C-alpha cells in the first residue's frame, strides 16, 4: 500500500512537471510567433526605436579626444580603407571610429555617409557621426562589443550554438530585407560576408561596411558598375554582366548561411590546384548522400536535423541561378520556419528528458 502511494505520488509530480514544461514551451512559441508577426512592422518602421540617435558632423578635435589621439592601443580592426579605433564620445557612448585617408578612399566615405546617415534598423550598424577633414575623414559607428561573425565562426576560443546561428542568420536577413525595400530606393550592400556582420551586446547581428553600397531608384531593375566585392561572395552573374541588383546580395547571404551551417571558409583553399566553393561542396555532399558531413563539427551533433535541412536548401537556393533565387522577404520567412522547427525540437527533447528522469 505504501509503495503504491509512493508510485502514485511520483506519477502526479511527474505529470505536474511535464505540464509546466508544456505550458512554458507553448508560451515560448507563442511569444516567438508574436515577435515574428511584428517583424514586418519593424522592417517598415524600424527608425522609431532609434529616433534619439542622429548622425551628426563632428570636429577633428572630438574624434581625437574620443580615441586618445588615435592611440595604437585603441586599434580594434584594419580594413581596406583604414584602421578602426575604439573610442568614447563626450556623452559616454562607446564607438568604433574608422579612419579613412581621403585621397585614396573618398568614395567609400561618401557612400557610407549617404547610405547610413538616415537609415535606421536594429540589424544595421548605426552611424553616430562623421568628420570630413581636408586630407582625412572619419566614420563614427556604434560599438558592437562582440566583434564580427568571422571571429566566432573561425576563432579557436569561440563557438556558436545551433539556435544562435539561426538567430544571427535571421537578423542579418531582416537587415538586408529592410535595405532592399527601402522607401527611397533599393539599397544594394554588395559586400555581405562574415566580417561585415557585427555582433552587439546580446549577439544581435548588425550589417556593417557600406563602402561599396549602391542605391537603385524605384522601378529600376539594376545599375551597371565595375565588379566590386570580396572573392568567394560575389555573384557569378554579376562578374559576367556587371549588373548590380538585390539578387547579388541574396547570393552573398547564401554563402554566409552556408558558413554558419558548416563552419568552413567560403572557398576551400586547402586544395590549391582545384579550389572548391562552399556551395559546390554542399551540392556534392548532397548528391553523395553525405549531407550531415557538411555540418560544423563544433556543433557536436546538437542541432535539429529538420531545421538544418531547411536551412541548407535555402542557402543553396540563394546561391543558385538568379531567376530562381528567393527574395530576402522569402529568406526571412523560411528562416523563421527553420528557427521555429528548431525550438519545437528542443522542446520535445526537454520533455522527453524529464519523462525519462522519472521513469
Q: Which residues are catalytic?
A: 191
Task: With CA atoms as reference, report the closest residue to 100 among 135, 65, 68.
Answer: 135
Residue positions counted in the chain: 359
**Residue 80's Cα: distance from chain center in Å?**
21
**Residue 355's Cα: distance from chain center in Å?**
37
E strands, the chain, in order: 56-57, 75-78, 83-88, 94-101, 127-132, 136-142, 186-188, 197-199, 205-207, 214-216, 223-224, 243-244, 267-268, 276-277
Task: With CA atoms as reference, report the closest residue to 212 among 252, 173, 181, 241.
Answer: 252
**97 and 66 Cβ atoms separated by less than 8 Å:** yes
Pairing status of strand 127-132 against strand 56-57: parallel
Place of cell 540617435: 53
Spatial separation of the C-alpha atoms in residues 322 and 126, rounded to whole Å: 30
Query: Taking the CA atoms of the chain, what radius of gyration do you get in angstroms?
Result: 23
Amino acid at each position: 500500500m505504501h509503495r503504491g502511494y509512493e508510485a502514485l505520488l511520483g506519477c502526479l509530480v511527474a505529470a505536474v512537471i511535464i505540464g509546466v514544461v508544456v505550458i512554458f514551451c507553448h508560451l515560448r512559441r507563442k511569444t516567438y510567433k508574436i515577435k515574428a508577426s511584428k517583424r514586418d512592422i519593424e522592417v517598415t518602421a524600424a527608425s522609431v526605436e532609434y529616433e534619439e540617435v542622429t548622425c551628426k558632423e563632428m570636429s577633428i578635435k572630438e574624434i581625437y579626444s574620443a580615441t586618445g589621439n588615435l592611440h595604437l592601443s585603441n586599434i580594434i580592426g584594419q580594413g581596406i580603407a583604414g584602421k578602426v579605433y575604439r573610442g568614447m564620445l563626450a556623452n559616454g557612448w562607446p564607438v568604433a571610429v574608422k579612419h579613412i585617408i581621403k585621397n585614396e578612399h573618398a568614395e567609400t566615405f561618401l557612400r557610407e555617409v549617404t547610405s547610413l546617415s538616415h537609415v535606421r534598423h536594429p540589424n544595421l550598424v548605426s552611424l553616430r557621426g562623421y568628420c570630413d577633414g581636408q586630407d582625412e575623414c572619419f566614420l563614427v559607428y556604434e560599438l558592437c562589443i562582440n566583434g564580427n561573425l568571422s571571429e566566432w565562426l573561425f576563432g579557436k576560443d569561440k563557438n556558436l550554438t545551433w539556435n544562435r546561428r539561426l538567430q544571427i542568420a535571421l537578423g542579418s536577413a531582416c537587415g538586408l530585407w529592410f535595405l532592399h525595400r527601402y522607401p527611397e530606393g533599393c539599397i544594394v550592400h554588395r559586400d555581405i560576408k562574415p566580417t561585415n556582420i557585427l555582433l552587439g551586446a546580446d549577439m544581435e547581428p548588425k550589417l556593417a561596411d557600406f563602402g561599396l553600397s549602391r542605391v537603385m531608384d524605384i522601378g529600376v531593375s539594376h545599375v551597371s558598375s565595375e565588379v566590386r566585392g570580396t572573392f568567394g561572395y560575389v555573384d557569378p552573374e554579376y562578374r559576367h554582366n556587371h549588373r548590380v541588383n538585390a539578387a547579388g546580395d541574396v547570393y552573398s547571404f547564401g554563402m554566409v548561411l552556408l558558413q554558419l551551417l558548416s563552419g568552413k571558409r567560403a572557398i576551400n583553399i586547402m586544395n590549391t590546384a582545384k579550389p572548391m566553393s562552399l556551395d559546390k561542396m554542399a551540392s556534392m555532399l548532397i548528391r553523395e548522400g553525405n549531407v550531415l558531413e557538411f555540418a560544423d563539427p563544433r556543433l557536436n551533433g546538437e542541432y535539429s536535423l529538420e531545421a538544418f535541412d531547411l536551412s541548407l536548401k535555402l542557402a543553396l537556393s540563394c546561391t543558385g541561378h538568379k531567376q530562381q533565387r528567393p527574395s530576402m522577404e522569402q529568406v526571412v520567412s523560411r528562416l523563421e520556419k527553420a528557427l521555429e522547427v528548431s525550438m519545437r525540437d528542443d522542446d520535445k527533447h526537454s520533455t522527453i528528458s524529464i519523462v525519462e528522469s522519472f521513469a
